[in-house]
Structure 1
Amino acid sequence: MSLEFGLAIENHHVAFSGFFILICTCIIPFLYLRTSSHPKPAKPNNLFARGPKQFKASRTAVKVDAEWTSTRELEFYKELYFKLQNLEEHSDTIPIARQAFLVLLSQALEDYVKAPDTNILSIKHFDKEELARFLQSHQDDVTARYHQYISRRQLGGPRELFQDRQEAGNWLREIAPLKLVDGAWLGHLNKITMPFSLRQIVKQTWQVFTEELGNGNRDQHHVKVFEDLLGEFEPELPSPTTKAILHPRYKLGSLKYWRAAVAQLLVALFPQEFLPEILGFNMHFEALQLDTMQAAKELPEVRLNAYYFLLHVSIDNSHSGHAAMAMESAADYIQHVAETEGQVAAEVAWKRIQAGYIFSEWQAQKGNQTTNILALLNEDSCDRLESKVLAIFGSKVQAAHRLHCGSRVKMGKRSLNEWLDPEAFSSEEWQLGFLRCLSTCKPWVYAGDSQKSKLIQELQWGGKMYGSFTKSELETLELWINTLGYDRNPFYYSFIAPATDSLCQASDSDTEKNVDSVLAVANNIETSSLLPGNQLGKDANLNLPLLFPLWFTQCCLLESFLYAPGRTSDKIGCAVVRFLRAQSGFEAEDMIVTGTDEPRMAENGGIVEFGLEMIRRASLPTPQGLNDLLSRWPSEFATTMLKLASSPIQNFGFLLGMSMAFLELQETLSEFPNSGLLCPKSRERLSSLVRRQYQCLQVCLQEIPTGDARHSDFNRGYGMAKAEIHRCSGSTV
């Protein structure tokens, strides 16, 4: 029976409903008796697999299926919400999180390209003035609708978000998941591993984040302000970083707001890879929204505190507030890319900023629709391919053991021989690290192009490893390389075409030039790295190859503590916010936010800027980033610091102790002018930053209860760092 014929019958139901019901009453028992003795056909997996007759299923059944899909999707987002705020315990979530981000981002883009003239896609090529006009037009539209809303209210119209206090409470519960991670879209941004050339752009954007966290003032912390408001309905509300917050008893949120909250956590997760998308997301999210203005008016009418919403009307303003800062950051980034990578790369960067903007807007406008994300994730074969690739290499390590000991090939910080050590390769974490490094190791692997990849060439006839992999193993490797980056979400990658390497990274040619310049001074490093006189040891020499890795890497110690805003609203969290602000060179906190008044030049430099000054004054080539610096001056202790810092909650005591030891190093360099590494003005500023950091660490220590194991961890961390810092004095090693 065709679909058209089925629909025709359905139309006849209206005219002959009584007759049809009578026939059904007679026939259904007969059919049941006839078919009950036969096995039932397997239930199709999806709508598109159903035969034409099955389209006549009742609307009730379709509704139940939709509700079931929505419920499963909601539970998926709630679980992800928890895990993304507790990453050190759920690091295995990162691959699926990246996949989910790209699935949602691609769907948002597909929806928006259907009408490009009605959204930010109407700006075909970046132009700052055109962007400013577009954003102003958005604000004008919002304020015009607000004016109409006020006119309706003045004429006696009812409240439009909610009618009474109970409905207001329900509305606040609904939006709660989103508000309880306020600022999270920038939570992973200010990392020492970001390229140094992007420091100023990242710093300006990260300032928005710290202001969302009240700049370390607990009473001004946005999550805390919203928690206090919600507490009028749920006085025992658990922290948004705990699993308890997911319990249905709290009746928090709908699919739209759980997904929007997860979107914030997802977009923040990969700042190295998706910085343009973060900047675009930030630009939309900080724009004025109608429901924020309506809530600011209606909540007091039902005797509830509206300050959270008033705060966002004012602090997000487009003149000196977050909206203005967000647009400037995006424009600065485009300019940076154009200057360093060329106009084609800048056009790609603009598309990626547009993608991030759309991703935020899509959450707000179309967030109620289900995305069937679970099916999309399950259909993806990349994870299975990765498992097969790891299984292939795992089966080879014994046969290849020590065969590559003469190879100079390095992936990341390890040689090929080290990666393929059988004992080390038995670790799942090691295997994932190997695969991650291999997938980005040019010329061995070019994502999306197996035939260009040297790995495949060496495994084929004429290559040095011909015969070491079977035909099926080689085909698996080729398929894996060809699907890298493109298979999961082809629409996103086609949207940002022409595809380039991550725009956060330096180009290959720039890297090669920098490596050459480093090698050019390699023979002179032993003499140029020794500068006399400092507190590390009287009449001792300062060993710069040991000092520089420690100086820059110290910035990692507490930076990951902030990525979940809900964990930063207590005294310890607020102290860490202030500590990191000082370390980044922000001015001392005030009760009034600085907004765009925060100085943007070198005079408000922080630890990184002082390190770069020391390198310049030592007449050494400027590194592009921490990875570049550590490849020039390897430091096992710096690597240890990075590893400890990746688990900021578990290792909090160690990290505090290490931070305290590095304050003493900072104080040494700020107080002794004969080191010659910093100019007088920089030493004076560093001294001021040391005092601010010290006060913050003292608050953290005072808040840790007596007898807590973190106190002993503090002493151990302090001792470890102090001993390593002491090695910076003396002869070169």
Structure 2
Amino acid sequence: MPVAVKERLLDLIDKNHQNYCDIVNYFMNSQITQHAKERKAAIFLRKEIQTLNLDSLEFPLDLNKIPEWLCNDNKVQCSEYQLYKDRRSSGGEREYFKNVSQAFEFLIKVAPVKRVDGAWLYSLVHYWNDPIFHELIQIYVEELGLGLAKSNHVSLFDDLLVKLGLEHFVLELEDEYYHQPAIQLALAYAPPEFIPEIVGFNLGYEQLPLHLLITNYELNELGINSQYFNLHITIDNMDNGHADLSIKALEKIYKKFKDKDSFIEKMKIGFALNNKGLSSRQIIKNLNSEALVVNILKRKALVGNVIHNDKCKFNNRSINEWLSEPNLVEEFVELLIEKQWIILNQDPEQSRFWKLISHEEGKMYGVFNATEKQIIHDWIAGDYFKQSHSKYKKVSSTSSAIDEFMFSYLADGELETLQQQISESGNLAVKINKLLPYLAPHAHHKEAGLWCTQRFVDYLFPFLSEKKSSIH
């Protein structure tokens, strides 16, 4: 390893990270060792736990009451969803996303947490030879799609972002959107002392929330492929899905712990960690289309601040001058609204700015891609299309699954070497321990990770291998 690279890695390991995005990048860095990540995870989790407020958290301290408590919560969520559907069938409007743009914004802002889906269970795969962890490990490999790209949750969500043209927006997110992902990744590398917290976190995360049901409904209605969200509805069920497996795992692991009260208390802490960071409900409540539009225009300003005609001036500034400083863009947008180049809550065709960017004869035609124009269109239209579901410019839904990974001509031979090592070894423990690093959050959705997940499933869960074949 080059000296400069090694020094950078040592700096990352020792650094007292001040923001969550750095912490996420740390855990997703393939060059940092498992041991270093475990040390970082323990330090970070202890700090997070210190700031928890458990007083207002409703959680049964009697193990026998937990299944009934969770079942009752599930019934409440389903009842609330039925009331939602009743409101919609009676003519009520969408309650989460009034247009495609708002749905886009939601998908952008939940991307950091969706890209680590299931990560909190990764540390448990290292206990593969202990049957009491098998239910939780099963949940993890099912989150990984049993090694199939078209079923791997991270692959599914990344594929959705790419097809909608949203992946670049994620790079501009504020640090607060990385708080919950940082927690999930810390649990992914947590040392054994945090097993009760992982069990508790998983118990909370695998329940069926109302927001997931409504999100799935409204995305589908807007023409956006909701397969990722629908998949979570079907597999997180209380009968035989992940919620059921979570309870079975809890009961088995609980029996092994000598200090029962301590286990329950630590599990409650893990359950409470679900509430750290921005929730989906909070994100939906705070959707801000104008801020998204301003960010788009700021990005365009970086390359467009010298190419406009200086004859057109607003408040004695040319367009080039307005775009020369990103901090002026928001004021410039307000000025365009004031001068009625943009007329909000009306048909966008009434706005001069929209014609400039959307009509072939417009001087800015081609500057904005289809996704950016959709966002700008919906922001301008606002409540204009409020009573009509048919006039939204819908995003084409695709029913095609992610293409199976093909041979990469740029591959470094790592997978071939690994395949040879696995085939040559007759020791199951050796085989599995070679696979485990590729099941990590940063690797499982890539070519080698998918292959390793399939082999891991073949070795540990043969009955799931049969399920995988039926998916094919």
Bin of the TM-score, shorter chain as denominator length: 0.5 to 0.7
C-alpha change, 1:143 and 1:149, in structure 2 (3 Å) is same
Inter-partner Cα distance in structure 2 for 1:141 and 1:324:
17
1:220 matched to 2:151: yes
Matches within 5 A, 1:483-562: 552-562=429-439
Inter-partner Cα distance in structure 1 for 2:241 and 2:269:
23
C-alpha change, 1:326 and 1:561, in structure 2 (3 Å) is same
The match for 1:163 is: 98
Inter-partner Cα distance in structure 2 for 1:593 and 1:209:
18
1:298 maps to a residue whose letter is E
Matched-pair contact (CA < 8 Å) for 2:147–2:452: yes
Inter-partner Cα distance in structure 2 for 1:80 and 1:336:
32
The match for 1:210 is: 141
1:84 maps to a residue whose letter is F
1:275 matched to 2:195: yes
The match for 2:457 is: 581
1:82 matched to 2:25: yes
Inter-partner Cα distance in structure 1 for 2:186 and 2:260:
24
Alignment counterpart, residue 235 of structure 2, candidates 305, 308, 315: 315
Matched-pair contact (CA < 8 Å) for 1:126–1:347: no
- In the TM superposition, what whole-angstrom CA distance separates every residue of 1:473-526 from its partner, at most 9, and x where no partner exists? xxxxxxxxxxxxxxxxxxxxxxxxxxxxxxxxxxxxxxxxxxxxxxxxxxxxxx
Inter-partner Cα distance in structure 2 for 1:190 and 1:97:
16
**Percent identical:** 23
Q: Which has the larger radius of gyration?
A: 1
Name stretches of at least 5 consecutive residues in structure 1 with no aligned partner. 1-72, 238-247, 370-546, 595-733
The match for 1:189 is: 124
- In the TM superposition, what whole-angstrom CA distance separates every residue of 1:591-635 from its partner, at most 9, and x where no partner exists? 5699xxxxxxxxxxxxxxxxxxxxxxxxxxxxxxxxxxxxxxxxx
1:83 maps to a residue whose letter is Y
1:106 matched to 2:41: no
Matched-pair contact (CA < 8 Å) for 1:280–1:355: yes
The match for 2:77 is: 142
C-alpha change, 1:364 and 1:303, in structure 2 (3 Å) is same
Structure ranking higher on relative contact order (CA contacts 8 Å, 6+ apart): 2
- In the TM superposition, what whole-angstrom CA distance separates every residue of 1:356-412 from its partner, at most 9, and x where no partner exists? 11211444669979xxxxxxxxxxxxxxxxxxxxxxxxxxxxxxxxxxxxxxxxxxx
Alignment counterpart, residue 107 of structure 2, candidates 164, 172, 176: 172
Where has structure 1 moved over 6 Å in runs of 4 or more? 366-369
1:353 maps to a residue whose letter is M
C-alpha change, 1:290 and 1:255, in structure 2 (3 Å) is farther
Matched-pair contact (CA < 8 Å) for 2:21–2:175: no
SS of the residue 1:189 aligns to? helix
1:346 maps to a residue whose letter is K
The match for 2:298 is: none
Name stretches of at least 5 consecutive residues in structure 2 with no aligned partner. 1-15, 284-424
C-alpha change, 1:311 and 1:79, in structure 2 (3 Å) is same
Alignment counterpart, residue 327 of structure 1, candidates 232, 235, 247: 247
**How much has 1:570 moved relative to structure 2?**
3.4
**How much has 1:103 moved relative to structure 2?**
1.5
Matched-pair contact (CA < 8 Å) for 2:187–2:198: yes
Inter-partner Cα distance in structure 1 for 2:279 and 2:438:
32
1:231 maps to a residue whose letter is V
Inter-partner Cα distance in structure 2 for 1:588 and 1:150:
35
C-alpha change, 1:279 and 1:591, in structure 2 (3 Å) is same
C-alpha change, 1:107 and 1:291, in structure 2 (3 Å) is same
**How much has 1:149 moved relative to structure 2?**
1.9
Taking structure 1 as the reference length, the TM-score comes to: 0.40
The match for 2:61 is: 124
1:145 maps to a residue whose letter is E
**How much has 1:255 moved relative to structure 2?**
4.6
**How much has 1:273 moved relative to structure 2?**
1.8
- In the TM superposition, what whole-angstrom CA distance separates every residue of 1:669-690 from its partner, at most 9, and x where no partner exists? xxxxxxxxxxxxxxxxxxxxxx
2:458 maps to a residue whose letter is A
SS of the residue 2:462 aligns to? coil
Matched-pair contact (CA < 8 Å) for 1:188–1:268: yes
C-alpha change, 1:223 and 1:330, in structure 2 (3 Å) is same
Taking structure 2 as the reference length, the TM-score comes to: 0.60
The match for 1:284 is: 204
Matched-pair contact (CA < 8 Å) for 1:177–1:252: no
C-alpha change, 1:583 and 1:191, in structure 2 (3 Å) is same
The match for 1:266 is: 186
SS of the residue 2:182 aligns to? helix
SS of the residue 1:288 aligns to? coil
Inter-partner Cα distance in structure 2 for 1:256 and 1:158:
30
**How much has 1:582 moved relative to structure 2?**
2.5
Matched-pair contact (CA < 8 Å) for 1:567–1:573: yes
1:97 matched to 2:41: yes
1:165 maps to a residue whose letter is V
C-alpha change, 1:576 and 1:96, in structure 2 (3 Å) is closer
1:347 maps to a residue whose letter is D
